Amino acid sequence: MRIQTKLILALLIATTAMFAAMYSLMQWSFDRGFLDYVNRRDLQRQETLINNLQRFYRQTGSWEPLRRDHNLWRRLLEADEDDQQPWRPPRRGGDNRPDRPHPPRPPTLLDADKQVVTGRYRSDFIMAPIKLGDQTIGWLALPPRVRVTEQNDLAFSKSQDKAFLVISALMVAISLLIALPLARQFVTPIKRLATATRQLAQGAYDMELKISGKDELGQLARDFHQLAQTLKSNETARRRWIADISHELRTPLAIAKGELEALVDGVRPTNRDNLLSIQQEIEHLQKLINDLYELTNAEVGALRYQKDEEDLRLILQHALDRHQSSFAAAGFQLISDLAPSPAIVWADATRLSQLLDNLLSNTCKYADPGAQVRVALSTDHNQVRLRIEDSGPGAPDDALPKLFDHLYRVENSRNRNTGGSGLGLAICRKIVEAHDGEISASRSPLGGLAIDVTLPAGKE
430-440 residue pLDDT tens: 899 999 999 99
Are residues 223 and 151 both part of a single domain? Answer: no
Q: What is the mean pLDDT of residues 190-199?
A: 83
Give the model's pLDDT for residue 93.
47
* Cβ–Cβ < 8 Å for 277, 311: no
Reduced to 3 states, what is the DSSP secondary structure of residue 76?
helix
Query: What CATH number has the domain bearing residue 362?
Result: 3.30.565.10
Q: Which residues of 370-405 are buried (b: 16+ CB within 10 A; e: fewer)?
A: ebbbbbbbebeeeebbbbbbbbeebbeeebbeebbb
How many other C-beta atoms lie within 10 A of the C-beta of residue 423?
A: 24
Evaluate whether residue 311 is within a structural domain. yes
Give the model's pLDDT for residue 448.
92
Last residue of a domain, one of 180, 202, 224: 202
**Residue 383 host element (H or E):** strand 383-390
Total structural domains within the chain? 3
Distance of CA 368 to the CA centre of its chain: 56
pLDDT in tens, 66-108: 888 888 888 877 776 554 444 455 544 444 444 443 345 688 8
Residue 368 CB-density burial (10 A; 0-12 exposed, 13-18 middle, 19+ buried): middle
Evaluate whether residue 209 is within a structural domain. no
Evaluate whether residue 372 is within a structural domain. yes
d(CA 307, CA 351): 10
From the CA atom positions of the chain, what is the Rg in Å?
A: 52
Evaluate whether residue 211 is within a structural domain. no
Least confident of 168-182, 270-284, 289-303: 289-303
Last residue of a domain, one of 279, 298, 317: 298
Give the model's pLDDT for residue 310.
94
> For the sheet containing 108-111, what is the strand order?
116-118, 108-111, 135-142, 126-132
Q: What is the mean pLDDT of residues 413-429?
A: 65
Are residues 291 and 392 both part of a single domain? Answer: no
Evaluate whether residue 54 is within a structural domain. yes
pLDDT in tens, 33-63: 777 777 777 777 778 888 888 888 888 888 8
- Selection from 15-29, 130-144, 235-249 with the highest mean pLDDT: 130-144
Q: Residue 173 sits in which domain range? A: 1-90+99-202
- Annotate 98-157 with DSSP letters as a single string: PPPPPPSS--EEEETT--EEES---TT-EEEEEEETTEEEEEEEEPPPSS--SHHHHHHH
